[in-house]
């Protein structure tokens, strides 16, 4: 059994002639082969991720001609508009982008981001009524709205035109909006279906520019910093059009003039000019998300559109503190959920459904994701309210959680999401029935193999083969993220020369590894510090890792970021 108690699945190597046909190393050929990139033309398109040739015509998206025409008319007539977004990073960045772009075009537009606790996810009638009273005539949703049939009808009855832009799984009944922009909706011919909310908002801006609207001093590429931020944080797959947007978005972010992002990079301990997609996912995105999880997402919006650095620094510091509180709360809720599930055996069910008053809604999605990864099965975590509860669901590869919830749709007050993650609200008396139905679905659709926690191994590489040239080969696949993970390598029969606990309470493990008479390599294994003594007793291991460059005090070294290890 490995240190993390997971099975290792070694992916198949590429056919022997693929490296020759592609003109690359055998390792890179294998990594491309595993990503279904097997012909020179598709490999070239993936590697180049060309901005001009890699983006599709926004007018191919169903609803885009009608939506862009209505917004252009509102700009021309000076009609008040509002953009209504979700409170996560995807929603906040989408609101930021549309407010910034439409304002630059001369439009009158205001943001509306609901409060997670007081208002919940999606459109709500009180907010709609307030916007109507304030004279708003055109309401544009971003990253929400596809399930809000009644709320859209209410808005239209109050005299608002509604444009819904959303990337979540469309339900059977769609809102009767003026236009719906969602590439996943039936009848949409748009060739790429996996844009997140901010990506769709960016396509809407492209459509407006195509209609002749000018961005003034802004360029379309100036908006890509927030597109990259939202796409990576919302775990959009980094293939196709998303790969192009994030690749160029990282360039824009690393050269950003946006005071808010510059301040956020600083408080995150990062260096502008060297921010990667991994830095977005683990450092920047969580700080933006923290505002909506524990406080008010409007603060994150204000940060992204801050006029000056002094104001931005204050907001960034506040978000940094909120993120620390979020980390502590996540640990507490995770410990409570684990104790509950493992005490009564629920952690061994095919789908784990847990509810409790102490499971705060702002972090249930995070905790559900961590537990789903640890237990290797879908997890639903629910904050129990007085009569109605709110929850989040996270799934495992091969099992669509939104399809499972759709099969139980009569039990929910509202729900939405996609194959890997979903959110919902439910009457308390329906929670037992939900658990029962989901167990029946799981018995039919979740095999024993799907429930076995595993780690993907992209390739086996001899430890002494590691080099700067090999790291340069791997870097050609960047940016890394969903659907294009950082390659995980395995080296067998490695000797542990040194093993020492590091970090607070010795929770991490600092290693020095060597193979035969080869050079030593430094390695770090997060949250495995308790195994230092075991490695001293049994120092010969197989090690699973990602290869990275570690820069410290001006020195640059190769470092293994250890994901797991086992006795050789």
Question: What's the token pair of residue 161?
Answer: 């035109």
Q: Is the pLDDT of residue 468 over 90?
A: yes
Q: Is the pLDDT of residue 553 over 90?
A: no
> From CA 93, how far away is CA 75, in angstroms rounded?
21
Report, as an integer, the average pLDDT of 121-144.
Answer: 95
DSSP H or E run through 94: helix 89-104
E strands, 326-461, are 352-356, 379-383, 388-394, 412-417, 421-427, 454-457, 459-460
Domains by residue range for the chain, with CATH: 58-217 (3.90.1640.30), 344-451 (3.10.310.30), 456-567 (2.40.50.460)
Q: Is the pLDDT of residue 198 over 90?
A: yes
Report, as an integer, the average pLDDT of 315-324.
Answer: 96
pLDDT recorded at residue 295: 81
Residues 6 or more apart from 97 whose CB is under 8 A from it?
Answer: 198, 201, 202, 205, 223, 226, 227
3-state helix, strand, coil in the chain (%, to 5): 45, 20, 35
Q: Is the pLDDT of residue 230 over 90?
A: yes
Q: Is the pLDDT of residue 442 over 90?
A: yes
Q: How confident is the model at residue 293 (pLDDT cuts 50, 70, 90)?
A: confident
pLDDT recorded at residue 416: 87
pLDDT recorded at residue 487: 97
DSSP H or E run through 241: helix 240-254
Regarding predicted confidence, which is higher, 205 or 342? 205
Residues 6 or more apart from 34 whose CB is under 8 A from it?
Answer: 11, 12, 14, 458
Secondary structure of residue 272 in the 3-state scheme: coil
pLDDT recorded at residue 11: 96
pLDDT recorded at residue 233: 96
Q: What percent of the chain has pLDDT over 90?
A: 90
How confident is the model over 471-507, as pLDDT tens digits? 999 999 999 999 999 999 999 999 999 999 998 889 9
How confident is the model over 519-544, as pLDDT tens digits? 999 999 999 999 999 999 999 999 99
Strands 379-383 and 352-356: parallel
Residue 292, CA atoms < 13 Å, CB-side half-sphere: 29
pLDDT recorded at residue 209: 97
Q: How confident is the model at residue 387 (pLDDT cuts 50, 70, 90)?
A: very high
Strands 521-525 and 555-567: parallel
pLDDT recorded at residue 121: 81
Q: Is the pLDDT of residue 410 over 90?
A: yes
């Amino acid at each position: 059994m490995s240190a993390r108690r997971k099975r290792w699945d070694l992916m198949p190597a590429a056919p022997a002639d693929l490296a020759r046909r592609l003109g690359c190393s055998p390792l890179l050929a294998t990594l491309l082969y595993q990503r279904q990139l097997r012909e020179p033309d598709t490999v070239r398109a993936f590697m180049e991720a060309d901005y001009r040739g890699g983006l599709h015509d926004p007018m191919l998206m169903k609803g885009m001609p009608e939506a862009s025409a209505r917004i252009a008319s509102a700009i021309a007539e000076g009609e008040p508009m509002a953009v209504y977004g979700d409170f996560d990073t995807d929603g906040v960045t989408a609101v930021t982008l549309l407010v910034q772009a439409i304002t630059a075009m001369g439009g009158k537009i205001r943001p509306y981001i609901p409060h997670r606790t007081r208002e919940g996810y999606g459109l709500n009638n009180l907010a709609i009524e307030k916007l109507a009273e304030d004279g708003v005539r055109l309401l544009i949703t971003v990253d929400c709205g596809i399930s809000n049939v009644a709320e859209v009808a209410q808005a239209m009855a109050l005299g608002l035109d509604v444009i819904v832009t959303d990337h979540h799984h469309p339900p059977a009944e769609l809102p009767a909006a003026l236009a719906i922009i969602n590439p996943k909706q039936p009848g949409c011919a748009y060739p790429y279906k996996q844009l997140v909310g901010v990506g769709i908002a960016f396509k809407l801006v492209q459509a407006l520019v195509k209609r002749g609207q000018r961005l003034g001093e802004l360029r379309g590429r100036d908006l890509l910093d927030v597109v990259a931020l939202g796409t990576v944080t919302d775990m959009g797959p980094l293939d196709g059009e998303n790969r192009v947007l994030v690749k160029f978005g990282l360039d824009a972010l690393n050269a950003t003039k946006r005071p808010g992002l510059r301040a956020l990079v600083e408080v995150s301990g990062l260096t502008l000019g060297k921010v990667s997609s991994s830095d977005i996912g683990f450092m920047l995105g969580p700080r933006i998300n923290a505002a909506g999880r524990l406080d008010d997402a409007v603060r994150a919006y204000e940060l992204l559109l801050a006029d000056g650095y002094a104001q931005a620094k204050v907001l960034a510091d506040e978000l940094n503190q909120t993120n620390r509180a979020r980390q502590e709360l996540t640990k507490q809720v995770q410990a409570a959920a684990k104790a509950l599930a493992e005490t009564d055996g629920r952690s061994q069910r095919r789908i784990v459904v847990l509810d409790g008053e102490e499971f705060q809604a702002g972090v249930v999605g995070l905790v559900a994701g961590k537990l789903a990864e640890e237990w290797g099965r879908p997890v639903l975590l629910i904050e129990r309210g007085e009569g109605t509860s709110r929850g989040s669901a996270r799934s495992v590869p091969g099992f669509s959680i939104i399809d499972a919830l759709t099969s139980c749709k009569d039990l929910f007050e509202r729900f939405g999401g996609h194959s890997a993650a979903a959110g919902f609200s439910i009457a308390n008396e329906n929670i037992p029935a939900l658990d029962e139905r989901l167990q029946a679905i799981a018995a039919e659709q979740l095999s024993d193999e799907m429930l076995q926690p595993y780690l993907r191994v992209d390739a086996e590489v001899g430890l002494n083969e590691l080099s700067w040239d090999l790291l340069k080969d791997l870097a050609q696949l960047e940016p890394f993220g969903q659907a294009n993970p950082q390659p995980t390598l395995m080296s067998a029969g490695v000797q542990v020369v040194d093993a020492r606990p590091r970090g607070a309470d010795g929770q991490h493990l600092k290693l020095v590894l060597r193979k035969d008479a080869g050079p030593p390599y430094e390695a770090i294994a997060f949250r495995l510090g308790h195994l230092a003594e075991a490695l001293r007793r049994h120092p010969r291991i197989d090690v699973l890792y990602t290869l990275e460059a570690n820069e410290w005090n001006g020195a640059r070294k190769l470092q293994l970021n250890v994901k797991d290890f086992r006795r050789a």
